[in-house]
Amino acid sequence: MRLTATRGELRKLTAVKQRVRPLYLRNVIRYAGLIGLTVAAIVSGAPTRAFADATLLIDADTGKILQAENAAYPWYPASTTKLMTAYVVLKKVKEGRLSLDTPFTVSAYALSQPPTKMGFKVGTTVTVDNALKMLMVKSANDMAVVLAEGVSGSVENFSTEMNATAARLGMTQTNFVNPHGLPADNHISSARDLAMMARAIFKDIPEYDYYWHLPGIKFGRRIVRNYNKLIDLYPGADGMKTGFVCASGFNLVASATRDNRRLIAVVLGAPSSAVRAYKAAKMLEQGFKGDKLSWLMPSLGTVDQLKPIVAEPPNLREEMCGPKRKRPAAEDEEVDMSSAGENGEPGSPLAFMLSSLHGTVKASQVLAGAVASLPPVEVFIGAFKPKTAQAAEAQESQLAGGRPKKAKGKAKAKTKTAAAATGDKSTDAKPEAAAKADAAKTDATKPDAAKPAAKPAAAKTAAAKPEAKTDAAKPAKPAAVAAPATAPKAQ
């Protein structure tokens, strides 16, 4: 075997080396630059692309950052605002300044809020407990106003309390103008601040964890499942709140616990409800399993150490609700997930995506979920729970548009059969019914087992619209509008 090379062969090898080496060095420099840019973007929180979202994953106990992208960039929080609304209310309950049984009254301004909402008539009374359940599951904007007015006398006063609480928690990028998150000037937060708020909620009021992972609510014949689909589909999910307006995109603050370790994931600006759920689940899964390459990345510190970015929040209205989108995003997309297959049925695209995250968990376990089998929690108006299913259904007369008419005789039976055949859920797209304040008294606590009736005919609401408050000097109170077909316009 010849172990030496001729001069001609050496010249060829040298030529190849001269051609390959610069290419190799360029690739090394290129990849190093990409890594540097990625690290810089993570640390600074600056958006890395024109249509960006913001994501953050932290350990709830330590506040340690596990993943972050654009986390310190200002964002419109939308209905994730309601976490602070519930936090302020429950802190007062814990301190003894308020009771969960305290009744609050629905005002004309509360009823004037755009959907999603319960739609109770003016003068209807709702306890703090029931209002909170409707707030967290239905994301009811009218219940946010009922709580704000009941606790502080007005939306403006309650917003002041919200901001004082945010300042105490170190949420330096946050300013609340209202208790529900509908578009308003200067109503801003960030993934950083929302994660800090979620962490404070778990730390300060652990006795009320129940409210963050309710599977659904039942009012009369109507049932609404939690908009946070991870509650039904992701093992260990135990919170917290979704949100959407055109300007913000689809937002989610999610939490899950495994082996006594709780993680908090924040997704802001996702293009759909299915994407935000999947992104949150993916982050949580990576956090629980650990990243084998994490030693290559520098420590990201704790959530409170993220340096806030001073900038205007991105406005995603064109992408979310503009004419270029085939199906404009809307608030009711959080209820009707038919196009995304996000109704929680086995075989839906979201369920399939979530099942792919679990290497050691059977797909059937993921699809069934740890909470999906739990019944919805019964809610009612007035001070006492109705004794019978009939009494609960009678509370629907407190809807602002009047009580839906029931089908009679054979027509009623056909309606039920058709609903069963199509899988129709009467509560998925319309505001929930209300109830009579003098409902029958009882101490019963178990939800009624009766099956909800078929979807009633839509009630006409135009005749019952209250006069809206439109004082331009009060940005917290946007002008009342009829229930829009899509999400309210972002400012």
Q: Is 273 a catalytic residue?
A: no
- Catalytic residue among 112, 121, 133, 139, which? 139
The token pair that represents 384 in the structure block: 């006492």
224 forms beta bridges with: 217
The vertex-401 CA angle with 397 and 402, nearest 5°, equals 30
The token pair that represents 181 in the structure block: 């998150």
Q: Is 79 a catalytic residue?
A: yes
3-state secondary structure the chain: CCCCCCHHHHHHHHHHHHHHHHHHHHHHHHHHHHHHHHHHHHHHCCCCCCCCCEEEEEECCCCEEEEEECCCCEECCHHHHHHHHHHHHHHHHHCCCCCCCCEEECCHHHHCCCCCCCCECCCCEEEHHHHHHHHHHCCCHHHHHHHHHHHHCCHHHHHHHHHHHHHHCCCCCCECCCCCCCCCCCCEEEHHHHHHHHHHHHHHCHHHHHHHHCCEEEECCEEEECCCCHHHHCCCEEEEEEEEECCCEEEEEEEEEECCEEEEEEEEEECCHHHHHHHHHHHHHHHHHCCCCHHHCCCCCEHHHCCCCCCCCCCCHHHHHCCCCCCCCCHHHHCCCCCCCCCCCCCCHHHHHHHCCCCCCCHHHHHHCCCCCCCCEECCCCCCCCCCHHHHHHHHHHECCCCCCCCCHHHHHHHHHHHHHHCCCCCCCCCCCCCCCCCCCCCCCCCCCCCCCCCCCCCCCHHHCCCCCCCCCCCCCCCCCCCCCCCCCCC
Q: Which of 398, 418, 391, 397 is nearest to 407 (CA)?
A: 418
In 10 A of CB 219, how many CB atoms?
Answer: 28
- Catalytic residue among 79, 107, 112, 152, which? 79
List residues with catalytic annotation: 79, 82, 139
